[in-house]
Structure 1
């Protein structure tokens, strides 16, 4: 019985995140190269949905920890669902990541591997999967250095860079600082080291951090972590979730911190803040995200606190657009009528909401109580 239960759990969990092993036939490398691909949950059912791509080099050992974090974070809506890709080096890591000793750019097989990623891996992904335009690269020590060569291109292949204990080529910090200072498009840049990291790598990461902190550019979204007690390898498991959290901070549902520090204090009305938040997600990540129930509730609370009653009318229309069978839209419209001098319309709207599906903190008792209170107050 116990073995059957374990088998059932293994099969069930395996069905949640679909991992594929693919051999890409490379004309550039004149060989087949293995990549791992994790597709989001319910990828097959969401036929019209596209997904950001997060690619890690050193897929031999970084893929599983990255894929697990992406699956977990996207399940709780702290980041969008994403396609995770791990490029395997197997016994070719040093050749794949090598650079020449004069100008310190990818040399020979390293240059071929660089072209393989951009000219063969991504066209393969775009042809076979529903990819969005937003892409992130991740690397560790030498592979962290390598992903920065894509940053040097006029139109970078990646918009996000996750550097874990990077082992930089000599001029790479200067090149990074120069590119990020002058970038015309938004770049998410994350670097991590640890207090027990390899000394030379830690010193380089700390020095680069000081330079990047001085950059005054709205196009750079930069985060740095120096994990106490973490060494060259243990920092990986701490840095990956922090990096994802940093890159997708604007995507997350409105929490207490955002509510108190941004929504309530904003010069925008609550409804305008909500629209701006989701427009930013679409602009930055290319995702047309459905407004979450959590965010409707947060904005309704903000309307109450700021007494921005006119916002309830627009919020009600938006709720009906996304959740037409739920009582949320009718409730918000009723609140608008109630606070703007139309109690009879409010009463009827509460009564109509009674027939719709309960959602979030709204139920039939709430609708009935609101309606009866208006009857009592105005003698209807």
Structure 2
């Protein structure tokens, strides 16, 4: 038995088209193992470094009150320890157009390197979701984004 069941399972994923690496955090409902073959809603959090924790907290507060169903929460996090580089990678993955970003965003890559949202979404559809649905009992999907990642869905 895991003495800290609230700690997420962490998986490593890579995208070879852009040579980027990601951590995928997975939080299962407290009674997931006892639920038999019942499928669970999946909340997929982009910008997981900011959205995953608050989504887990929200699900864990609302599900016992039956405000929402028990759910699996997944966060996709750019595996980049340098914040400045994280900002650049987010912009390249989550933006929908290839235009220079306003200076106030902190994005310093040229607009020609932006606009990767459709390729990022394709990677989620073709790699991440099939992996998750092979490992966990998943029904519906809700995509959660923040700032640039809200553009992606």
TM normalised by structure 1 equals 0.32
Q: Does 1:94 align with 2:99?
A: no
Q: Does 1:113 align with 2:124?
A: no
Q: Provide the residue aligned with 2:61 in structure 1.
A: 72
Q: Does 1:60 align with 2:67?
A: no
Q: Aligned equivalents of 1:119 and 1:63: distance in 2?
A: 22
Q: Does 1:123 align with 2:130?
A: yes
Number of residues of Structure 1 aligned to a counterpart in Structure 2: 130
Residues 76 and 51 (structure 1 numbering): CA distance in 2 closer, same or farther, change over 3 Å? Answer: same
Q: Aligned equivalents of 1:78 and 1:108: distance in 2?
A: 37
- What is the CA distance between 1:41 and its match in structure 2? 0.8
- What is the CA distance between 1:25 and its match in structure 2? 4.0
Residues 86 and 40 (structure 1 numbering): CA distance in 2 closer, same or farther, change over 3 Å? Answer: same
Query: Which has more helix, going by share of residues?
Result: 1
Q: Does 1:39 align with 2:46?
A: no
User: Residue 94 of structure 1 aligns to a residue in which SS?
Assistant: helix
Q: Aligned equivalents of 2:33 and 2:17: distance in 1?
A: 31
Indicate conservation of the 8 Å contact 2:98/2:115, yes or no: no
Q: Provide the residue aligned with 2:39 in structure 1.
A: 50
Q: Report 1:227-242 matches (<5 A).
A: none
Residues 100 and 112 (structure 1 numbering): CA distance in 2 closer, same or farther, change over 3 Å? Answer: same
Q: Aligned equivalents of 1:24 and 1:111: distance in 2?
A: 18
The structure whose RCO (Cα within 8 Å, separation 6+) is larger is 2
Indicate conservation of the 8 Å contact 1:28/1:112, yes or no: no
Q: Provide the residue aligned with 1:83 in structure 2.
A: 72
- Runs of 5+ consecutive residues of structure 1 not aligned to the other structure: 1-10, 148-380
Deviations 1:324-344 (CA, angstroms, capped at 9, x unpaired): xxxxxxxxxxxxxxxxxxxxx
Q: Aligned equivalents of 2:17 and 2:137: distance in 1?
A: 24
- What is the CA distance between 1:33 and its match in structure 2? 1.8
- Runs of 5+ consecutive residues of structure 2 not aligned to the other structure: 81-85, 100-112
TM normalised by structure 2 equals 0.74
Match of 2:149 among 118, 143, 149: 143
Q: Aligned equivalents of 2:28 and 2:137: distance in 1?
A: 10
Indicate conservation of the 8 Å contact 1:22/1:34, yes or no: yes
Q: Aligned equivalents of 2:37 and 2:114: distance in 1?
A: 41
Residues 118 and 62 (structure 1 numbering): CA distance in 2 closer, same or farther, change over 3 Å? Answer: same
Supply the RMSD in Å over aligned alpha carbons.
2.3
Greater C-alpha Rg: 1
